[in-house]
């Protein structure tokens, strides 16, 4: 137990030292206005360089990522079926699918799946 505590303290100290050294070494000493300004063919920008971002697109992207992770979690369920208790596997799978369906119903109810708006 004592050796685990000692090793974890040594690892913590090494990681803190490395983070401090990285932050000290990576500091830029000279700040140039031209280098920090947005580049537009050598001329000063005529308008803001920030474009408005569609919140709708962001929500669709988040929904896609959530469903992508769900697929990655569902695929191993079939393989696990051979190695586990069938009753526990069925209960766990049903609960998981119900949670996903409740989330899908909530998104549908909130109107997040209406892409035409």
- Residue 29 CA: distances (Å) to CA of 17, 33, 36, 37, 46: 21, 13, 13, 17, 29
Question: Residue 76 and residue 68: Cα distance in Å, rounded?
Answer: 14
Q: What six digits make up the tokens of 61?
A: 């992207």
Q: What six digits make up the tokens of 35?
A: 């280098």
How many domains does the chain divide into?
Answer: 1
**Confidence label for 114 from pLDDT (cuts 50, 70 and 90):** confident
Q: Is residue 116 part of a domain?
A: no
**Confidence label for 87 from pLDDT (cuts 50, 70 and 90):** very high
Q: Which alpha helices (DSSP H) does the chain contain, by range?
A: 2-25, 33-36, 55-80, 86-110
Domain residue limits at 34: 2-110
Q: Is residue 117 part of a domain?
A: no
Give the bridge partners for 43, in sequence order.
Answer: 40
pLDDT at 18: 94
> What sign does the CA torsion over 37, 38, 44, 47 have?
negative
pLDDT at 79: 86
* CATH number reported for the structural domain that contains residue 14 in this entry: 1.20.58
Q: Is residue 115 part of a domain?
A: no
- Residue 51 CA: distances (Å) to CA of 41, 46, 60: 18, 13, 19
Q: What is the pLDDT of residues 23-65, one digit of tens each?
A: 888 766 566 666 666 665 666 556 666 667 777 777 788 888 8
Residue (of 20, 21, 15) closest to 7 by Cα position: 15
Question: Is 40 strand, coil or helix?
Answer: strand
């Amino acid at each position: 137990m004592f050796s685990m505590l000692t090793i974890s303290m040594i690892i913590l100290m090494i990681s803190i030292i490395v983070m401090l050294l990285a932050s000290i070494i990576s500091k830029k000493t000279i700040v140039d206005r031209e280098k920090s300004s947005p580049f537009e063919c050598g001329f000063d920008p005529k308008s803001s360089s920030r474009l408005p971002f569609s919140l709708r697109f962001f929500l669709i992207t988040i929904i896609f990522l959530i469903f992508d992770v769900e697929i990655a979690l569902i695929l191993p369920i079939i393989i696990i079926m051979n190695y586990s208790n069938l009753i526990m596997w069925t209960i766990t799978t049903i609960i998981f699918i119900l949670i996903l369906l409740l989330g899908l119903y909530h998104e549908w109810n909130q109107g997040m799946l209406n892409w035409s708006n």
